[in-house]
Structure 1
Amino acid sequence: MRRISMFMCCGMLLLLSACNDATSPANAPPVTTPVTPQSRLSAAAQAGQVMFFDQTLSGSGKMSCATCHDPNSAYGPPNDLAVQLGGTSMTAAGTRAVPSLRYKSVTPPYADLLDNPDGITAPGPGGGFTWDGRVDTLAEQAAIPLLDPNEMANTDKATVVAHIKAGPYADLFRQAFGQQALENVDDAFANAGKALQAFQMEDISFHPNTSKFDLNAGNKIGGAFTPAEERGFRVFVDPNVGNCASCHYNGAGINGSSSLFTDFSIEAIGVPRNMAIPVNGDPTYMDMGVCGPLRKDHQPSAPHAADNFCGRFKSPTLRNVATRTVFFHNGIMHSLEQVIRFYNTRDTRPELWYPTEGGTPKNPPDPDFPTYGLIKTQYVGGQVQKYNDLPAEYIANIDPQMPLDGRPAGSATPMTEQNVTDLICFLKTLNDDYVPGKTPTAPECLK
C-alpha cells in the first residue's frame, strides 16, 4: 500500500491503447493538420508528419496513425468505440482502447521500481509506452500498430519500407537519415519510428499546454478558476476524498509549472470486463496488463502462479480527459462522470459495476436505484462477481488507496455528490484550447 502526502491523491486510471478505427476514411470527420509550420520542424519530423497521415502505410490502404489518433480529438479516437477496427479489411477488432498521444514526450522508460515524482510514495512499476509499458520510446511504440494484424496490418517491415520508398516523401526521408536510408530494411524501419517520434516531439500540437489550468498555473490573465473548479481541485488533491493526485500528479502544482497529470505509475484497480471486445468472448482470455498476454517478460512462472504484475495498467495523463468518450484500457466506460462514480462506488455499490450471479431481477427497480452504472438491472439476492476481469489469485494486486480503499458494501462513499460535481468541473479545466475569459458552459461549474 502506498503512503502519500496530504497534497497527493489516487484518482482515475482512465486507462486507455494502440491504433485502429471503425469509421472509414470517407465517413470520418476531417482531421486538422498540426500547427507547427514545416519550416520549423527537422527533416525527420517533416517526414514523420507526412507519414502520420499516410494511409498507404497500412495493409488496407485506408488507415493512418491519424485515423485513430485524430488531431481533432486531442490525438485520441474520433468515436466512442471501446476498441477500434483495422486489419486488411478494416473489420478486425483491437483488444485495447486507443489512448491520446498528447503529452507523451517526457515519459520515462519502464522500470519495475520507478521512483515516484512525489518523493514520498514507494517506488513501483511505472513508465514506458502502451497500456503495459512494454516499450520505452515513441519510436518503438510507433512500430507496434504498423505491424499489428488488427491495426495497420503490414505483412512485415519490408512492406512498410517499400511504401515509404514509393511515397512522395522518400527524398525527405533520405534527407533526414542519409542517402542510403531506405536500402537496409531493419535500419529503414527503425528510422521510420524515429521520424514519427520526431514529429510528436517537435510539433506543438502534441503538447500545447493551452488549458485553463495552464493559464491559472502561470498566473495569466483569464485563467481564474470558478468556485466549483477551485473546490474540485481540492477534491483532486485531498488524500481523504478524491485522492487523484497520488496517481495523476508529477511534481507540479496549481501555482507553479503545469503538471502532466500522471506519475507514470502502473496500477491494478479491477476494471470490469468489457464483453463488447470480441476477444473477451473467450472466457479463458484475460488481459492482465504487465503480466501479459501482449507483454511477455513479466508473465507468471506457471499458470495461476503468484505474480505481482498481473492486472496492472498504466495511469494515463488526465489532460483533455473531459473530451474523451472512451475510458480505461478496455474502453468499458463512456463518460467522465461514469468513471468518477466508479471510483466513488466500486466498493460501496459493486452491484452497479459488476454482474450479479444467481439473483432475481427486480421489476420495476427501486426509484432511487442509480442509472449511472454499467449494470442497469437491480437484483434481489445473488452474488456480485466483483473484479470479474482478473483471476482470483491476483486480486491482492489491486491498489487499496482511497477512494478505492475496499470499504464495505453499503458504507458511505468517499466523495459526496457535490464533490463529484466539483471534481468534474476541475477536470474540464485540463482541456486544451481554452479561450481566456470564457465561462464554463455547465451552470453547476459556476457556483
Structure 2
Amino acid sequence: MPAVVLCSALTACGGGSGGGASVPVAALPPAAGSSASTATPASPSTPLSLAAQVGARMFVDQTLSGSGKMSCATCHDPDSAYGPPNDLSVQLGGTQLNRSGTRAVPSLRYKDVTPPYADLLDNPDGISVPGPGGGFTWDGRAPTLAAQAQIPLLDPNEMANASAADVVARLQAGPYAGLFKQAFGADAFADTNAAFQNARNALQAYQLEDPSFHPYSSKFDLYAGNKIGGNLTVAEARGLKVFANPNTGNCASCHYQGAGLNGSSALFTDFSYEAIGVPRNTAIPANADPSHFDIGICGPLRTDHPPAPGNTFCGMFKAPTLRNVALRQSFFHNGVMHSLEQVIRFYNTRDTLPELWYPTVGGTPRATPDAGFPTYGLITTQYTGGTVKKYDDLPPTFVSNIDTQLPMDGRAAHSTPPMSEQDITDLICFLKTLTDGYKPPATAPTSGACIQ
C-alpha cells in the first residue's frame, strides 16, 4: 500500500430544514408487525441486524422530531456523504424549524473507529505526544455514537423533543413499533429509560453496520490498494506531497492516515484537537452577543473543562476526517467559510495576510482596493491604517493556546506564505481524490485542471 499522510481541519457541520432522504440500503426493513426475522441486506454480503434495521427507520423518520418535519437525514443527508445538503453555516430546527443552531453539522461517515475522548489520547501517528483526542461532536463530549444520537433528539435547536419519554412515545405510536419489539423484546416499551437507550443503540448499530457510512470507495482507496483506476495524476501526486510535507501544507500533522475499518485505508484524521483561531461567524445569531464565545472543549456546550485562565484546552476543536471534504459547502465548527479553496487559503495566509480574515478596527476603508489586493478572504475591503483584530472569536486570555504548526506558524504579516499558488491548486486536486463513489473513466483524461 502506498505510504500517505494528510491535511487540515477543513470540515464543519450543518443541517437542513428540508424533508427526509432515502435510506441507502437495498430496501427498508420490514414494516411494523412483519413476521420477517432476517435483516434486509445493505449490500449482497452485508445484512443489517434487527437493531440496525430499527436505526435505519429512525434515521429518516421525521415524526421523531418536535416539528414533525425533521429527521437525522435532514442534516446528515446520505446524498451529501451524510453531511448537510446545503451551504448554511448552521441549520434551523426546533418545533417551528425557526431556531438556529450554534455549530456546523459534521458528516457521519467514518466514525466507526473513533475512540472516546481523553485529555491524553495516544496519537495514532506514533510520533506526536499524547493530547486531547477522540469523542464525538466538535468538542468530543459524546463518548459513543449512541450518546451522540441523544444530542439532536433532545436539543431545542434541533429535533426538539422535550424529553426521552417523548421520543419513546413517538416510537411506540409509529409504524415500526413491531420491529422495535422484535429487536429489543416484547416489553421493549415498558421501561422508558431502557427504551430510549435502545433507540440510541439502534441508531448506533445502523451507523456501524451499514457500509454506506464507511464505503472506502474513493479514488484514493483504489490508489492505496494498488487497484486498477487508482493511479494519481501528476497534479494529484504533487498535492499528496504538499499534504504530507511538514514545510508546506503539513496537513498530516492533524489528519494522519490512521487505519480504517478492518484495516482499510486512511481515515484522514488523528482524532486530535487544535486551536487555530477560526474567524468569528457573525451570521450565527448567538454571536450577536459580544460576550458569547464558543471555545470548544471549554464550552459552552461542554462543561467539564471550565474556561479558567491557564486552561490550555480552551479554543480547541476536533480535527474531522477529510474524506469527502470536497463535497462540503460549509467548513469549520462555525461554518464561517464556504469553499475548500478559501479554507486552504486561510491556513496559508492567516498570519501573512490577517486583514483578509479578521476585522480591521480604526482604519479607513478604501473606495477602491489596490489592484493586487486578494479577494478570496472573508474581508474584501482594504483599509488604510487601523489594527487587525486577529483571533476575534477567542477570548484574549486563551490566545496563547493557538497552535503554531505550519502552515500557521505565526510568521510575520506580509511575509511569504508557506504554500505557493501551485501548491494550493495541487492540494485541492489531491483532496478531491478523497470523495467516495469514484468510478474510473474508461479512458484516462489527458487534460484538465487536475491532470498535469
2:357 maps to: 353
> TM-score, normalised on structure 1?
0.93
Aligned mates of 1:94, 1:399 — CA distance in 2: 27
The one of 361, 373, 378 equivalent to 2:377 is: 373
Deviations 1:231-283 (A, max 9, x none): 00000000111000110113459xx9510000000111000000000000000
The one of 69, 85, 99 equivalent to 1:78 is: 85
Mapped pair 1:445 → 2:443: no
2:138 maps to: 131
3-state SS of paired residue (2:241): helix
Do 2:216 and 2:264's aligned partners in 1 also have CA atoms closer than 8 Å? no
The one of 184, 187, 199 equivalent to 1:192 is: 199
3-state SS of paired residue (1:444): coil
2:71 maps to: 64
3-state SS of paired residue (1:125): strand
Cα offset, 1:431, TM superposition: 0.1
Mapped pair 1:170 → 2:177: yes
1:284 maps to: 291
Cα pair distance change 1:321/1:385, threshold 3 Å: same
The one of 5, 9, 12 equivalent to 1:13 is: 9
Do 1:15 and 1:330's aligned partners in 2 also have CA atoms closer than 8 Å? no
Cα pair distance change 1:297/1:442, threshold 3 Å: farther
3-state SS of paired residue (1:245): helix
Do 1:12 and 1:339's aligned partners in 2 also have CA atoms closer than 8 Å? no
The one of 123, 127, 141 equivalent to 1:120 is: 127
Do 1:20 and 1:152's aligned partners in 2 also have CA atoms closer than 8 Å? no
Q: Deviation above 4 Å: which 4+ runs of structure 1?
A: 6-9, 438-442
3-state SS of paired residue (2:52): helix
1:33 maps to: 23
Mapped pair 1:223 → 2:230: yes
Cα pair distance change 1:35/1:348, threshold 3 Å: same
Aligned mates of 2:276, 2:423 — CA distance in 1: 21
Aligned mates of 2:78, 2:407 — CA distance in 1: 33
Aligned mates of 2:410, 2:142 — CA distance in 1: 32
> TM-score, normalised on structure 2?
0.92
Mapped pair 1:312 → 2:316: yes
Do 2:15 and 2:83's aligned partners in 1 also have CA atoms closer than 8 Å? no
Cα pair distance change 1:7/1:43, threshold 3 Å: closer
Do 1:340 and 1:420's aligned partners in 2 also have CA atoms closer than 8 Å? yes
Deviations 1:6-48 (A, max 9, x none): 9756x3212424x6424x32xxxx7342135524110000000
1:344 maps to: 348
Gaps of 5+ in 1: 1-5
Aligned-residue CA RMSD in angstroms?
1.8
Do 1:134 and 1:295's aligned partners in 2 also have CA atoms closer than 8 Å? yes
1:275 maps to: 282
Deviations 1:388-411 (A, max 9, x none): 000111011111100011111011
Do 2:297 and 2:314's aligned partners in 1 also have CA atoms closer than 8 Å? yes
Cα pair distance change 1:257/1:193, threshold 3 Å: closer
Do 2:351 and 2:408's aligned partners in 1 also have CA atoms closer than 8 Å? yes
Aligned mates of 2:392, 2:155 — CA distance in 1: 27
Do 1:60 and 1:88's aligned partners in 2 also have CA atoms closer than 8 Å? yes
Do 1:215 and 1:221's aligned partners in 2 also have CA atoms closer than 8 Å? yes
- Tell me the amino acid that sits aligned with residue 101 of structure 1: L
Aligned mates of 2:118, 2:346 — CA distance in 1: 29
Do 1:320 and 1:432's aligned partners in 2 also have CA atoms closer than 8 Å? yes
3-state SS of paired residue (1:445): coil
Do 1:36 and 1:204's aligned partners in 2 also have CA atoms closer than 8 Å? no
3-state SS of paired residue (2:119): strand
Aligned mates of 2:79, 2:101 — CA distance in 1: 22
- Tell me the amino acid that sits aligned with residue 395 of structure 1: V
Give percent identity, aligned residues only.
Answer: 67
Do 1:15 and 1:131's aligned partners in 2 also have CA atoms closer than 8 Å? no
Do 2:4 and 2:240's aligned partners in 1 also have CA atoms closer than 8 Å? no
Aligned mates of 1:84, 1:61 — CA distance in 2: 16
- Tell me the amino acid that sits aligned with residue 79 of structure 1: N
- Tell me the amino acid that sits aligned with residue 155 of structure 1: A
2:168 maps to: 161
3-state SS of paired residue (2:223): helix
1:326 maps to: 330
- Tell me the amino acid that sits aligned with residue 150 of structure 1: N
Aligned mates of 1:266, 1:441 — CA distance in 2: 40
Cα offset, 1:180, TM superposition: 1.5
- Tell me the amino acid that sits aligned with residue 13 of structure 1: A
Do 2:298 and 2:315's aligned partners in 1 also have CA atoms closer than 8 Å? yes
Cα pair distance change 1:252/1:47, threshold 3 Å: closer
Aligned mates of 2:207, 2:12 — CA distance in 1: 19
- Tell me the amino acid that sits aligned with residue 321 of structure 1: V
Aligned mates of 2:259, 2:371 — CA distance in 1: 44
3-state SS of paired residue (2:251): coil
Cα offset, 1:436, TM superposition: 1.5
1:183 maps to: 190
